[in-house]
Structures are given as C-alpha cells and as structure tokens.
Amino acid sequence: MDTDTLVEAVRDGDLRLHELEQHADADDAAAARRRLVAAETGADLGTIGEYAFPAAEAESNIENMLGAAQVPMGIVGPIEIDGGSVEGSKRLPLATTEGALVASVNRGCAAIRAAGGATSRVFKNEMTRAPVFRVGDVAEASETAAWVRDNADRLAEAAESTTNHGELRAVTPYVVGDNVFIRFGYETRDAMGMNMATIATEAACELVTDETPAELVALSGNLCTDKKPAAINSVEGRGRTVAADVEIPRELVETYFKTTPEAIAEANTRKNLVGSAKAGSLGFNAHAANTIAAAFLATGQDIAQVVEGSNAITTADVRGDDLYASLTIASLEVGTVGGGTKLPTQSEALDVVGVAGGGDPAGSNADALAEVITTAALAGELSLLGALASNHLASAHQELGR
C-alpha cells in the first residue's frame, strides 16, 4: 500500500496504527503514521520525519515508528589515556541539550592532556541477570541455594548453550524467606549483553526448576539490577567496573581551573563525599551522569542505563604540591555491537572513537569505550569541581546556555 491507502485504512478501522509495517515499507508506514498523528493531535511532525537513514534499518530498535529524535552532537578531546585497552589520543562525541556540558568536559580534557594524560583500567566485566524463584519454605530455600552452589558447572553449560559469545562467570544464590534469587554474571565480550544474559539465564532457569523444588516467578528478580539505583551494583558492579585517574601539577590546576589543588580537594570532600553521605546517596560524584548520558546517546548505548552509570565515586586529594583526582564507575554498561550501535549516527560516533564493532581480542572495543567514557567523565568532574571551587557555576550557565 502507499501512504494514502495506509492512512485511509487506519481511518476506516481496517488497520491499526502499529500494523502499518505489515502492509508497506517502513518509510511509507512511518510517513502514514506521522500524517495520522498530525491529524489527531494538530502537531506538525515535519522535522521528526526528516531522519537520515532507511526506516527499515531501525526495525529491531523501534516499533510504531514516526521518525527520529535529533539531538545536537558535539565533540571533546583529544583525551590522552594510558588504558588497559586504549593507548594514546581519543576523541569522543557527546550528544546533549545541556549548554556548557561539552565545553566543560573539554576544559577538563585539556587539563588532563597538559598533565600528560590519564590512566584508566577496567577491573571487572560481568553482565548480570537475577531471576526470582518461589520455594515452599526456608528449608527448600536452603536446599535450592546449596544445589546452585554445587552445580555451577551444569548451570554454565545450560546457559552457554544459548550463545556463542557469552560465558557464565559467576552464579550466586540469595534467599529471602520463600524467595530464592540467583544472580548470574556473564562475560559478554563487546556486547552490552543484557539480552544475551536474559536468554542464557532462561535456559539455566529450566535446569533449576527441573532439579530443585524452586518454581520460576520472574526472569528478573531485581537483584540484577537493571535500570534502578541499587547498592548491589555499586558494591559488586554490573557491566564494566572502570576507573580513571590523573595527577595534575599545581600550576596547571591554576591555569586551567583558576583555583588550587586544595580548593578542589576541599570542594570534593565537602560536596561529593560528605554531602552525598548526608543525602543517602549511591553516587559520590559531581555530575558523572552528564558525560555518561551524552556519550551513551551519541554512541548508541541504552540511555536508561545511565542510572547504573551514576554509581560513581570521585576522589580528589592534594599529593605533594599537585592534585590527584580519580573517578571510579561501578557499573558502566556499554557495548560496541548490538542494541543501538549499528544505527547510522551512532555507528559513525563509534568510528570517531575507533571502537565500532567487535574488538580484537573480543571485548577490547567495549573495554576501550568504557575507558574513554570514564576518562571524559573524570574530565567533567575536574571541570565542574574547578568551577565550583572558583565559584562561577551560575555564571557559566548564564553565558553558555540556560
């Protein structure tokens, strides 16, 4: 059908809005949907319709497609990194609507560069999924937990039968009354890996329900924990646990941030450590989520996982005469394959970083992306702490945006 026919068919009640793709190509379907929604709501959807890729390429990412959201993308760098999977100079695209963010991160990158670069490492890499099971009583819970601990090999075999890329690294049972939670942790190479983990876990669950008294209630029991702030992620990590740090000589602190190492260290202690403590927070940082969100959006990550990314701790101390600062992100969930990474602007952005697609060795591209984002976020921390310490946060926003 052509667009007119599609529109007519929906108006006549012969088709429903989400069924258009079954009767037309994806772009025509989206065009028809825009006309229908425009007519219904009075909104003009012109710019939403000016997307720069074939709608069919987004079929695995969206349903009921109208078009695309367009978010301004800027660039920061060069970011100088001595990393575990990246060495040297990197650029990072950031997509955001928050004026001053790109400039702020860039200022931090310049300071890091002048200081000879940051160091970064990935400490842990496990994508998790934690189903919840019902048992009869705590005796059955105890049996089930013991069975899980004794049968890690069989669970791995079952889980790994569903995937060529994933590997079960850890399986841990937790009990609350007649609930048994099993947290499965997977190495997922260059994929963020949540779907892989879900599918593998479903297979493992069958083994559990076959061999123990446990019955599956939900394939995710919130001990994963996906897209919710949770201490289990802050403590044990999810996705990549990754840190970056830098030592910046006093004169560079003064040049780039118009303040002193002491002032930055004091602002960090009072705000990011004591303030977050008083707030009952799981995020002991200034605004790591800002950089993470903008990088996730540019590079095709799952932006709802910015929630876990914000589980980050910034430290800043005077070392000798200089400033030492670090940022450690407990649960940064990134991938360079799958999800939104193949979409056109996202794939180009990954190319800018030099990490599109699968890495060699497998996993090294996602590790590198994690290190680049973490270092950029460290730059953002330094810049905001510097601005607060030299007391011009409000004026920066007044000049650069609103």
Q: Which residue numbers are catalytic?
A: 98, 302, 397
**Distance between CA atoms of residues 185 and 193, nearest Å:** 10
The nearest distance, CB 57 to its own copies, in angstroms, is: 9
* Nearest approach, Cβ of residue 394 and its own copies (Å): 4
Distance CA 121, CA 119 (A): 7
Q: Report the residue number, 171 or 307, with the smaller CB distance to its own copies.
A: 307
237: left (phi over 0), alpha (psi -120 to 50) or beta: left
Cα–Cα distance, 250 to 264 (Å, whole number) = 11
Cα distances (Å, whole numbers) of residue 267 to 253, 282, 290, 382: 14, 18, 19, 11
Q: Which is nearer to its own copies, 55 or 373 (CB)?
A: 55
* Residue closer to its own copies (CB basis): 33 or 189: 33
Output 362 or 393, the one with its CB closest to its own copies: 393
Three-class secondary structure of residue 171 per DSSP: strand
| Min CB(99)–its own copies separation in Å | 5
69 CB-contact burial (10 Å; exposed 0-12 / middle 13-18 / buried 19+)? exposed
Taking the complex as a whole, the smallest distance from the CB of residue 254 to its own copies amounts, in Å, to 18
Nearer to its own copies, 5 or 390 (CB): 390
Distance CA 359, CA 188 (A): 12
The smaller minimum CB distance to its own copies, of residues 23 and 91, is found at 91
Degrees (nearest 5) of the Cα angle 304, 121, 321?
Answer: 110
The H or E element that residue 291 is part of is: helix 288-299
What are the CA-CA distances from residue 176 to residues 202, 230, 237, 285, 373 (Å)? 21, 17, 21, 32, 37
Single-letter code of the amino acid located at 342: K
| Min separation Cβ 2 and its own copies, Å | 21
Coil, helix or strand at residue 211: helix
Tokens standing for 181?
């939670």
Closest distance to its own copies from the beta carbon of 255 (Å): 15
In 3-state terms, what secondary structure has residue 202? helix
Q: How far is CA 91 from the centre of its chain?
A: 18
Contact 354, 208 (CB under 8 A): no
**Cβ closest to its own copies, residue 9 vs residue 297:** 297
Instruction: Give least dist CB 8 to its own copies, A.
Output: 19
Strands (E), 102-178: 118-129, 132-134, 167-176
| Residues 214 and 135 sit within 8 Å (Cβ to Cβ) | yes
